[in-house]
Amino acid sequence: MTMFDANYAGESEANQKASAKTILVNGKRYPVTSEPDTPLLFVLRDEIGLTGTKYGCGEGQCGACTVVVNGVARRSCLTPLADAFGKSITTIEGLERDGNLHPVQAAFIQADAFQCAYCTSGMIMSSVALLEKNPNPSDGEIVAGLQGNICRCGAHPRIVDAVRIAAKGAKKQSAASATVVPVLRTSARTTEVATLYSANAAQARGTSEGAL
Amino acid sequence: MQPAIEAERYELRAAPVHRFDLARRDFFKLLGAGVAVFCVATRTTNAQESGRGGHRRDDEDEPKDITSWLHIGEDGVVTAFTGKVEIGQNIRTSLAQSVADELHVPFESVRMVMGDTALTPFDMGTFGSRTTPTMAPQLRRVANAARDLLIQEAAKEWGVATANLVARDAKVTDPGSGRTITYAKLATGKLLAKDLPDADPITPAPDWTVAGKAISKVDARDFVTGRHQYTTDLRPTGLIYGKVLRPTSFGAKLISLDTTAAQAMPGVKVVRDGDFVGVTALSEGAAARAIAALKANWSETKQPSSRELFSYLKNNVEEGEDARGGKVTGSVDDGLSQAAHKLSQTYTVEYIAHTPLEPRAAVAEWKDGGVTVWTGTQRPFGVREELSDAFHLPKEKIRVIVPDTGSAYGGKHTGDAAVEAARLARNAGHPVKLVWTREEEFTWAYFRPAGVIDVRGGITADGTLTAWEFHNYNSGGSGIGIPYVVPNQRVQFHETKSPLRQGSYRGLAATANHFARECAIDELAHAAGIDPLEFRLKNIPDSRLRDVFVAAATKFGWPAKKTAEGQGFGMGGGIEKAGYVATCAEVAVDRASGSVRIVRVVTAFECGAIVNPDGLRHQVIGANIMGLGGALFEAIAFENGRITNPHFAKYRVPRFKDVPEIEAVLLDRKDIPSAGAGETPIVGIAPAIGNAIFDAVGVRLRTLPMVPNGLKTEQNA
Cis peptide before B559 (omega within 30 of 0): yes
Q: Which of B357, B613, B620 sits opposite A64 (nearest CB)?
A: B357
Q: What are the chain A neighbours of B647 within 8 Å (beta carbons)? A: 57, 59, 61
* Smallest CA–CA distance from B541 into chain A, residue: A193
With bands split at pLDDT 50, 70 and 90, how would you rate the model's confidence at B18? very low
Residue A78 sits in the same domain as residue A129: no
ipTM reported for the complex, 2 dp: 0.93
Domain B233-300+360-435 has CATH 3.30.365.10: yes
Q: Of chain B residues 490-519, which have a CB less than 8 A from chain A?
A: none
A161: domain CATH number is: 1.10.150.120
Residue numbers in A near B666 (CB within 8 A): 178-181
Characterize the bridge pairing of strands B179-182 and B171-174.
antiparallel
**What confidence tens digit (pLDDT) does each residue in B379-411 have?**
999 999 999 999 999 999 999 999 999 999 999
CA of B641 to nearest chain A CA: how many angstroms apart? 22
What span, in angstroms and rounded, lies between the C-alpha atoms of B126 and B134? 11
SS3 B477: coil
Average pLDDT over residues B306-326: 81
Domain boundary among A47, A65, A94: A94
Residue of A nearest to B409 (CA): A153
Q: Kind and range of the H or E element at B185?
A: helix B183-187
Interface of B with A in 409-448 (CB under 8 A): 409, 428-430, 435, 437-438
pLDDT, residue B244, reads 98
Distance from CA of B505 to the nearest CA of A (A): 13
- Mention the CATH class of domain B9-224: alpha beta
State residue A34 phi and psi, 5-degree precision.
-60, 160
- pLDDT band at residue A200, thresholds of 50, 70 and 90? very low
In the prediction, which pLDDT does B468 show? 98
Which of A178, A200, A208 is closest, CB to CB, to B547? A200
Confidence of residue A202 (pLDDT cuts 50, 70, 90): very low
Q: Sign of the CA dihedral B134, B139, B142, B147?
A: negative
Pairing assessment for the beta strands B488-494 and B465-473 based on DSSP bridges: parallel
**Chain B residues with CB inside 8 Å of A153's CB?**
88, 407, 618, 622, 626
Q: Do A109 and B220 touch (CB under 8 A)?
A: yes
Full domain range(s) for residue A31:
21-94
CB B693 within 8 A of CB B568: yes
Q: Residue B22: pLDDT above 80?
A: no
B interface test, pick of A115, A124, A208 with most B CB neighbours within 10 Å = A115
Mean pLDDT is lowest, of A6-20, B350-364, B682-696, for: A6-20
Task: Quote the CA–CA distance of A200 and A194 in Å, as a whole number.
Answer: 10
Q: Is the pLDDT of residue B343 over 90?
A: yes
Distance from C-alpha of B607 to C-alpha of B341, rounded to nearest angstrom: 35
Q: What is the pLDDT of residues B245-300, one digit of tens each?
A: 999 999 999 999 999 999 999 999 999 999 999 999 999 999 999 999 999 999 99
Given a cut of 60, is residue B4 above it in pLDDT? no
Residue A113 shares a structural domain with residue A79: no
Q: Is residue A53 part of a domain?
A: yes
Q: Does one domain contain both A86 and A136?
A: no
pLDDT of residue A208: 29
**What's the Rg (C-alpha) of chain A?**
24
The answer to whether domain B9-224 and domain B316-351+447-704 are alike in fold is yes
Indicate the residue among A94, A112, A137 that finishes a domain: A94
For residue A55, the domain's CATH number is 3.10.20.30
Classify B448 as helix, strand or coil: strand
Asked if residue A60 belongs to a domain, the reply is yes
Distance from C-alpha of B492 to C-alpha of B481, rounded to nearest angstrom: 9
Inform me whether the C-beta atom of residue B535 falls under 8 Å from chain A C-beta atoms: no
Residue B278 pairs with which residues in a beta bridge? Answer: B244, B271
Report pLDDT digits (tens) over A23-79. 999 999 999 999 999 999 999 999 999 999 999 999 999 999 999 999 999 999 999
Partner-chain residue, chosen from A53, A61, A205, that has the shortest CB–CB distance to B554: A205
Check pLDDT > 90 for residue B1. no
Residues B20, B25, B29, B35: is their CA dihedral positive or negative?
A: positive
| Mutation site, B207, B271, B357, interface A, largest A CB count within 10 A | B357
Residues 6+ away with beta carbon under 8 Å from A58: A39, A41, A77, B437, B438
Q: Return the domain boundaries, chain B.
A: 9-224, 233-300+360-435, 316-351+447-704
For residue B243, which amino acid is it? K
* Chain A residues near residue B355 by CB distance under 8 angstroms: 152
Residue B134 DSSP SS3: helix
Query: Mean pLDDT, to the nearest integer, of B661-667?
Result: 97
A169 in a structural domain: yes
Q: Are B435 and A180 a contacting pair at CB < 8 A?
A: no
Question: Are A75 and A91 in contact, with CB atoms under 8 Å apart?
Answer: no
Distance from CA of A86 to the nearest CA of B (A): 23
DSSP B620-640: HHHHHHHHHHHHHT----EET
Three-state DSSP at B202 gives coil
Angle between helices B613-632 and B509-527 (to 10 degrees): 70
Mean pLDDT (whole number) for B517-546: 97
Residue from B479, B464, B461 nearest B684 by CA = B479
User: What is the pLDDT, as a whole number, of residue B35?
Assistant: 82
pLDDT for res B29: 78
Domain membership of residue A179 (yes or no) is no
Query: Is there a domain that residue A11 lies in?
Result: no
State pLDDT tens for residues B29-74. Answer: 778 888 888 766 543 333 333 323 333 333 333 334 566 789 999 9
Please name the fold of domain B316-351+447-704. Answer: Aldehyde Oxidoreductase; domain 4 (3.30.365)
Considering the domain architecture, whether residues A84 and A126 belong to the same structural domain is answered as: no
Model confidence over A102-145: pLDDT tens digits?
Answer: 999 999 999 999 999 999 999 999 999 999 999 999 999 999 99
Sign of the alpha-carbon torsion through B469, B473, B475, B477: positive
Question: B68-77: string of b/e by CB count within 10 Å (b at 16+)?
Answer: bbbbbbbebb
In this prediction, what percent of chain B has a pLDDT beyond 70? 90
Tens of pLDDT, residues B23-35: 566 777 778 888 8
Domain count, chain A: 2
What does the pLDDT read at residue B539? 96
Same domain membership, residue A113 and residue A140:
yes
Residue B84 C-alpha, separation from nearest chain A C-alpha, in angstroms: 15
Per-residue confidence band for A168, with pLDDT thresholds at 50, 70 and 90: confident
Residue B677, pLDDT > 60, answer: yes
A155: closest chain B residue by CA: B622
Q: pLDDT: is B339 or B710 the higher one? A: B339
Q: Which residues of A touch B656 (CB under 8 A)?
A: 142-144, 146-147, 149, 156, 159-160
- Listed in sequence order, the residues at least 6 apart from A140 whose beta carbon sits closer than 8 Å to its beta carbon are none
Q: Which secondary structure element, helix H or strand E, spans residue B644, and what is its range?
A: none
Question: Cis peptide before B449, with omega less than 30 degrees from 0?
Answer: no
A66: left (phi over 0), alpha (psi -120 to 50) or beta: beta
pLDDT in the model for residue B38: 76
- Identify whether the C-beta of residue B628 lies closer than 8 Å to the C-beta of residue B657: no
pLDDT score for B23: 56
Contact flag B613-A151 (C-beta cutoff 8 Å): no
Is B313 a residue whose pLDDT tops 80?
yes
Min Cα–Cα distance to chain B from A169, Å: 18
Q: What is the mean pLDDT of residues B169-187?
A: 96
Residues of A in contact with B264 (CB under 8 A): none
Percent above pLDDT 90 for chain B: 84
Taking the alpha carbons of B412, B417, B418, B420 in that order, is the dihedral positive or negative?
positive
Cβ contact A208–B89 (<8 Å): no
- DSSP conformation letters of A120-145: HHHHHHHHHHHHHH-SS--HHHHHHH
Interface contact flag, A59 B438, Cβ < 8 Å: yes
Q: Which of B87, B213, B224, B674 to mutate to test the interface with A (most CBs of A within 10 A)?
A: B224
In SS3 terms, B207-249 reads as HCCCCCCCCCCCCHHHHHCCCCCCHHHCCCCCCEEEEEECCCC
Query: In whole angstroms, what is the distance from residue B535 CA to residue B528 CA?
Result: 9
User: What's the mean per-residue pLDDT of chain B?
Assistant: 91
Q: Give the model's pLDDT for residue B27.
A: 73
Model-level pTM?
Answer: 0.90
B355: Cβ–Cβ under 8 A, 6 or more apart, which residues? A152, B411, B441, B442, B648, B651, B653
Last residue of a domain, one of A40, A72, A94: A94
Cβ of B621 and A191 within 8 Å? no
In this prediction, residue B20 carries a pLDDT of: 39
Q: Note the pLDDT of residue A177.
A: 64
Average model confidence (pLDDT) across chain A: 81
